[in-house]
Amino acid sequence: MLDAPGNSFNTTLLVPFDLDNHRYALPLTAVERIVRIGEITPLPKAPPIVLGIVNIGGRIFPVCNVRRRFRLPEREIDLRDQLILAQAERRMVALVVDEVSPVVECPEREVITAQKILPGLEYVQGVARLEDGMILIHDLDKFLSFEEEAVLDRALVEAQSLG
């Protein structure tokens, strides 16, 4: 949490993004940068949640399908889509999103943890009440299961040995 200048309360900085007109966010501390969608190279034997890999600045990122994880309708990737490059607990990932909005500052008292709303709510860290509505804060550390992580690791190693 950051202490906002001139305020006596703690705030959380969030990077909001949209998927099918649903609003989500990641903590700013997890986000490295946002880039335009580029060519995604298929990754054989990757878990179904992984669309493939991208090379950005010489670094390889697995591209995750947030729509599939949140059970939203699938659609073709559009050239207007964006990638959020973010740090999960065990690896950097690229998340395909419709659009990223400017960073918002949310008072800590306006963030409700997921456990208080619905215990066991997967992939959601909490809900923030903003002036223009509610936003779900995504828990990136729970995005990939341990099994999906292991399958992804094997697929990446196999791809490197072939390339």
Q: Is residue 90 part of a domain?
A: yes
Q: Is residue 13 part of a domain?
A: no
Find the domain containing 57 and state its range. 19-106+115-162
* Confidence (pLDDT) at 58: 92
Give which of 157, 143, 136 is closest to 22, Cα–Cα. 136
Q: Is residue 44 part of a domain?
A: yes
pTM of the model: 0.85
Distance, CA of 42 to CA of 19 (rounded, Å): 22
- φ, ψ of residue 23 to 5 degrees: the values are -105, 130
Q: Is residue 8 part of a domain?
A: no
Averaged pLDDT, groups of 10, the chain, 163 residues long:
48 92 92 95 94 94 92 91 93 95 89 70 78 85 87 90 71
Distance, CA of 31 to CA of 14 (rounded, Å): 9
Count of the separate structural domains present in the chain: 1
- To 5 degrees, how large is the angle CA 29–CA 30–CA 36? 115
* Confidence (pLDDT) at 7: 45
Q: Is residue 2 part of a domain?
A: no
Query: Residue 45 maps to which CATH number?
Result: 2.40.50.180
Q: Report how far Cα 149 is from the mean position of its chain's Cα atoms.
A: 15
* Confidence (pLDDT) at 59: 93
* Confidence (pLDDT) at 106: 87
